[in-house]
Structures are given as C-alpha cells and as structure tokens.
C-alpha cells in the first residue's frame, strides 16, 4: 500500500510537467475526495447516559459492497449521497449497545430510503428483533421512536419501540401492500417489436410483461397469495408489539387508508402525539446534554454510524477471536453470466470467490447470504457447482436467505447444509424460461431489410431480424424442458423431496419463507446471525472470527484501476448518520413510474445467459 502511493505520486509529479492541466484536474479530484472524507469524520466522545440514535433515512443492504456508493469521488462531484448501512453492522451495533453501560436508550427517527434489493422486509424483521433484544437485554433499556409520515417499512420497525411518538399533523402511510406491474406488450407492438417465449411452470410469469397487457390468472393467484401472507405477517407483528388486536389494526387501515394521528392514538398504535421539538425536550430530560452548546440536540446522543465506527475493531463486533474464519459471502442482485459488475452477481466472479474460500485453510465454514431474484441459469449452475465443491472439501455451507432467494437465487441455495429464511422471505420460483425478441417490423418500418447465408438449420437462431420458426421454438422449448428437469433433479436430490411432489409445488411459483418451511424448501426460520451461529456449531469452533466477502476495495485500489482505465470498484461505504429530522423529498408520482419502468427495462441488459435460459422470479415485485 505504502509503496503504491510513493510510486503513484512520484509518477504524478513527473506527468504534471508533460500533461499539466488534465493531471492537475485529477489531483484536484483526489484532494476533494480526501477533503470530503475528512469533513465527514467527527470526533466521538461517548459518555454514560448517552442515547443511541438510529436515523432510518438510509438503505439497509446485505452486502458491504452495495451499489449505492460506487465511487470515492461521489462526494466531491455531487453524486448519489444515499446513505447505506449493512444489516449486519446494525445488528452488531444494537447487540453491543444493549450491553454497553454508557448507552441509556435508543431513539429511532427518519424514514427508510430503499435502493435496489436493500431494505427488504426479511432484513427489517431481523432489525426489529434486534431492537426488541436491545429492550430485553440487561437493564431493559427504553426505545423511543418519532414518526411523521411513516411508510409500512418505517412502522414495521418503529413499532418495536416502547414509546412511539407521531407528529400531530402527520399520518401513518401504511394502507396495505400492493404490487403494480407494468406491461410493455402494446408499446412494443407500436414500435414493431415482437417477443417470443418458452417456459416451464404455469406460474413462471417473468416473461408476461412483454407478451400480455395484464396479469395472467396464475400470476394474479400467486401474487395475491404472496402479498396476503406478507401483509398478514406485518399486521400480526406490529399488533403484537403494540399490544393491539390485529383485527383492530386491519379495520383502521381499511377505514382510514392513511391512518390519522388521533385514530392511531386511540387505537394505541402510537403512544403520544408530539412535535419534534417536544420529543427532543422529553429526551433531554431522560439524558441531559452535558454541554448543550457543543452538540446540535438537547440530549446526550451518538448516531449509530458513529457508534459503529467508534467501536470498530479489526474484527467484526461480537466475535471471540482466534484464527478460524467463518466466511460470509453476500450474493445480492441479479445473477448474470460472466464477471458482472458491482450491482449484480457475476457467475464467474462468485464462482472464483467460492474457489478461493475452498482453498483458504483458515476458512472453516461459509455462510451464503442470498438476496437475489435469480437470473442466468448458466451462471447459477456455475455458482452451485462451487458450493458443492466446498461441501466436498468438508467445509459446512449454510445459507441465509434475505428478502429474495428465488429461482436462480434458490438454485444457488439448494445444496446448502442448512437453509435459513425469514417468514417474509420470497423464495421458490423453481422454473425456467427463455425469451427472444423479434424486431423485423421495426426494421421494415424504417426501410431496413436482411438476407442470410448459413451452413446449418439453426445457424442464425440468435438473430432478432425475424421471428423464430416453429422448429426453432420447438428447439428452445426442448432446452427449457431439459433445464427444468435438471432443476427439479437438483432440488429433489439436495432437499430429499420426492420429484413428483416437487413438480407440483414448483411450476415457477414463489413462496414466502413460512410456506417454504412447510414445503421443506428451507430448514429453519431465522436470520443472518442465526445462520452464522449454526455455521460455527457445524464446524465445531470454539474460537473464530467472521470475515465478509467480496472484500471491500481500498482507495488505493480504486486509484490504481482508475489510472489503468479498468472498471471502477466499489469503495467502502462510510455512512454519516447524525440525526437529521428534515422531511425527505420524494419524487413525484410520474417520476416514480418512469424510474420503475426504467429499472425493469434495465433488467433486460442483464439477460445475458449464453443459452438464453433464465431462472428468475417475476419482474415488477416492487412491494409497497
């Protein structure tokens, strides 16, 4: 590292004489980046009687290398400043704070900002359980939450607090869950683009937005069942901690839609109607500030991000030490063929990660944290092959399912020695499809034609200049049937489920983690920490430490790749979660719809399986 900087800056000084301006600009950018980094650091003094502040204005990601901050220059250039924290860092901080005599209470404020596959309900269930553990550990510390216009996600977590405040002019924006899917068939027809599909599984609806203009009966059936189950878990969980009858909460939702403050108070969904300043004064009485002039709030407080950084050791919070390593490998995003990038799961890249873990003698067990809707069947198989090799090397492989572990996400999970899921994990979707675009009409409309010479009947199979022939579609369907059969064989073999029975529950259908447990698709309900504990037990470790993969990229590595014109790696995320009660500015509804469509169409860029075969759950599962 030191030698890199010596060499880099020596070369930079020499090049300044040659290139002058461009290199000076680069130097300014580097300086700005360092300046931004230093600006975000603030001295933390933790005194007895401090309140830990958890600002929910963030994205809770599984992987440390989340795509919300993929450049060290973002701060300097005014890029995306969405704050992101990992689930495990939050869980570890709350566990440590529960035993920390200096921490008197926890204060929850703000509203989540979900990004990509982050802040899913499975992760939030782990977070709220950690909050409940904080309350019930040791001195039974109090938890306070202040809400203004909380979403369902916000309410789900904040309802774990002992005391919940709601702004008198606010409202609870939790009218239930909805899945609004976008269909592109008519639009594609207008442009002269046709889509041909092959699939196995009557519930394998990932292709339907491109061939239909509304939900198929099967898609509507599974969608309704899934959101009913997810919503039922939310209502039951919130009502339980707020000591309400679930039926009362459901009636409130159905009557108000957006629950009004007085109605929420009357139903005991919240405890007090108070303005933010009054809440701060209440907290000031509980934990008076020792020097109000030097801190922005009238109570002794520390942001959870600062608490994590102040408590950080070379090893993650909560481990006992030793040389035995439990590796946690995060598979988050779409599964794509090849190396992929920082926003998805490249089959080659993660197969290489698994091979490296297999060869590392310090690694005694591996936990796969899967948060993926699936994708390339070829890439999923590459990853699964290395999972099986890890097991053959006598290293336990434990799977922890996040918000999604469906289709290809289930494919890579099925050979785990034990599979953990949350009740609201979305999994299953055991099915396969192929999708082929035909742009002949589009080209014809603009005066472009094609002609072909070939040496085999299927030599131009991959062309988009014409529709597929009946023979070609039969060939594609045969490949789908073959791959679906292999998928069934793998799950039947790994899970010990009769193949005929498995075929009945497969068919591309998605299930909640609770249903998956009943169907024997998963082994146990539990989160990431429970999976890690099981891995420790399976490897019979008394001393161990946990290391997360893919490893974070250093700033030096970023500069080195930048100067060599390689793809820029993800930098370490350094969140700054000092309390900021300002209301969030959300995009207008038209912009939200545009961004949703843009995201779904962008997914097509990740359909790069070399065989054109995909194991992916349906598009459009943006559950609100």
Dist CA 226 CA 381 (whole Å): 27
Range 476-482 average pLDDT: 94
DSSP line for 336-379: ESSS--TTSEEHHHHHHHHHHHHH-TTEEEEEEEEEE-EEEHHH
Q: Are 326 and 362 spatial neighbours (Cβ–Cβ below 8 Å)? A: no
Dist CA 211 CA 3 (whole Å): 57
Structure-model confidence comparison of residues 51 and 574, the more confident one: 51
pLDDT band at 602 (very low <50, low <70, confident <90, very high): low
The structure tokens listed for 151 are 């979403």
pLDDT value, residue 26:
52
Closest by CA position to 53, among listed 280, 271, 318, 238:
280
Gyration radius of the chain over CA positions: 26
pLDDT tens for 133-142 read 999 987 889 9
Dist CA 281 CA 162 (whole Å): 18
C-alpha 405: how far from chain center:
11
524 strand-pairing partners? 420
Rounded to 5 degrees, what are φ and ψ at 590?
A: -65, -45
Closest by CA position to 133, among listed 325, 369, 401, 318:
318
Structure-model confidence comparison of residues 560 and 268, the more confident one: 268
The structure tokens listed for 569 are 């790696």
pLDDT band at 268 (very low <50, low <70, confident <90, very high): very high
In the three-class reduction of DSSP (H, G, I as helix; E, B as strand; rest coil), residue 285 is classed as: helix
Residues 6+ apart with CB under 8 A from 387: 354, 368, 397, 412, 415, 416
The structure tokens listed for 592 are 């939200």
Q: For the chain, what is the mean pLDDT? A: 83
Question: Is a pLDDT exceeding 90 seen at residue 353?
Answer: yes
- List active site positions: 204, 407
pLDDT band at 154 (very low <50, low <70, confident <90, very high): very high
Q: Are 573 and 64 spatial neighbours (Cβ–Cβ below 8 Å)? A: yes
Dist CA 577 CA 89 (whole Å): 13
Report the predicted TM-score, pTM, of the whole model to 2 decimal places.
Answer: 0.82
C-alpha 138: how far from chain center:
32
What domains sit in the chain, N to C, each tagged with a CATH number?
Answer: 46-174+258-313+570-584 (3.90.226.10)
Closest by CA position to 318, among listed 156, 558, 62, 90:
90
Burial of 165 (0-12, 13-18, 19+ CB in 10 A): buried
Range 546-550 average pLDDT: 94
Asked whether the CA dihedral 476, 479, 480, 481 is positive or negative, the reply is positive
Using the 8-state DSSP alphabet, how is residue 402 labeled?
Answer: E
pLDDT tens for 209-237 read 999 999 999 999 999 999 999 999 999 99
- Please report, for residues 6, 289, 422, 558, 565, the alpha-carbon distance to residue 568 in angstroms, rounded to integers and kept in the order given: 21, 43, 34, 6, 8
Dist CA 422 CA 402 (whole Å): 7
| Element at 261 (helix H, strand E) | helix 261-266
Structure-model confidence comparison of residues 308 and 326, the more confident one: 326
pLDDT value, residue 603:
60
Q: Are 441 and 427 spatial neighbours (Cβ–Cβ below 8 Å)? A: no
C-alpha 93: how far from chain center:
19
Asked whether the CA dihedral 88, 90, 93, 94 is positive or negative, the reply is negative
Asked whether the CA dihedral 346, 349, 351, 357 is positive or negative, the reply is negative
Closest by CA position to 623, among listed 62, 180, 155, 126:
180
Q: What is the dihedral of CA 342, 347, 353, 356, to 10 degrees?
A: -150
Dist CA 40 CA 242 (whole Å): 37
* Residue with the two structure tokens 């907290």: 283
């Amino acid at each position: 590292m030191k030698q890199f900087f010596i060499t880099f800056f020596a070369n930079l000084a020499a090049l300044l004489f040659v290139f002058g301006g461009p290199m000076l600009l680069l130097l300014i950018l580097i300086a700005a980046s360092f300046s931004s980094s230093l600006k975000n650091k603030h001295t933390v003094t933790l005194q007895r009687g401090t309140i830990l502040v958890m600002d929910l204005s963030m994205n809770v990601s599984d992987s440390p290398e989340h795509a919300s901050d993929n450049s060290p220059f973002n701060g300097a250039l005014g890029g995306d400043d969405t704050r992101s924290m990992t689930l495990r860092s939050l869980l570890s901080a709350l566990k440590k704070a529960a035993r920390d005599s200096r921490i008197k209470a926890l204060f929850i404020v703000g509203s989540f900002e979900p990004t990509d596959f982050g802040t899913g309900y499975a992760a939030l269930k782990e977070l709220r359980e950690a909050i409940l553990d904080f309350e019930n550990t040791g001195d039974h510390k109090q938890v306070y939450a202040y809400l203004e216009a909380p979403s369902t996600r916000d309410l789900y977590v904040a309802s774990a607090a002992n005391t919940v405040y709601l702004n008198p002019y606010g409202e609870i924006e939790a009218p239930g869950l909805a899945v609004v899917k976008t269909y592109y068939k008519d639009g594609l027809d207008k442009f002269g683009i046709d889509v041909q599909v092959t699939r196995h599984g009557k519930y394998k609806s990932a292709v339907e937005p491109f061939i239909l203009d509304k939900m198929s009966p099967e898609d509507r059936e599974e969608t309704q069942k899934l959101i009913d189950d997810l919503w039922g878990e939310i209502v039951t969980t919130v009502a339980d901690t707020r000591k309400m009858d679930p039926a009362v909460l459901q009636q409130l939702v159905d009557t108000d839609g957006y629950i009004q403050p007085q109605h929420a108070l009357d139903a005991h969904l919240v405890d007090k109607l108070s303005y933010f300043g009054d809440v701060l004064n209440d907290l000031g009485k509980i934990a008076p500030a020792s020097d109000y002039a030097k801190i922005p709030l009238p109570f002794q407080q520390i942001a959870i991000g600062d608490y994590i950084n102040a408590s950080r050791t070379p090893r993650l919070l909560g481990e006992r030490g030793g040389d035995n390593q439990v590796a946690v490998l995060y598979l988050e995003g779409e599964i794509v063929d090849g190396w992929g990038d920082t926003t998805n799961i490249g089959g080659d890249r993660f197969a290489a990660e698994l091979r490296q873990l297999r060869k590392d003698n310090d690694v005694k067990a591996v936990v796969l944290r899967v948060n993926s809707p699936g994708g390339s069947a070829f890439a999923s198989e590459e990853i699964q092959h290395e999972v099986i090799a890890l097991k053959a090397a006598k290293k336990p492989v434990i799977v922890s399912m996040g918000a999604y572990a469906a289709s290809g996400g289930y494919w890579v999970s099925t050979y785990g020695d034990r599979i953990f899921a949350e009740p609201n994990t979305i999994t299953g979707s055991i099915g396969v499809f192929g999708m082929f675009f035909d742009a002949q009409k589009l080209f014809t409309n603009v005066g472009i034609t094609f002609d072909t010479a070939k040496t085999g009947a299927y030599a131009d199979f991959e062309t988009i200049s014409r529709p597929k022939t009946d023979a070609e579609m039969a060939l594609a369907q045969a490949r789908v049937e073959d791959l679906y059969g292999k998928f069934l064989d793998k799950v039947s073999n790994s899970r010990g489920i009769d193949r005929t029975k498995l075929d009945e529950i497969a068919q591309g259908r998605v299930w909640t983690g609770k249903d998956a447990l009943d169907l024997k698709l998963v082994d146990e309900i539990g989160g990431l920490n429970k999976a890690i504990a099981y891995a420790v037990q399976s490897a019979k470790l008394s001393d161990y430490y946990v290391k997360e993969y893919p490893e974070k990229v250093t700033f030096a590595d970023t500069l080195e790749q930048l100067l060599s014109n390689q793809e820029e790696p993800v930098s370490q995320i350094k969140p700054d979660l000092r309390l900021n009660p300002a209301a969030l500015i959300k995009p207008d509804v038209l912009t939200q719809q545009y961004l949703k469509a843009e995201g779904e169409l962008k997914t097509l860029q990740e359909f790069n399986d070399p065989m054109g075969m995909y194991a992916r759950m349906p598009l459009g599962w943006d559950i609100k």
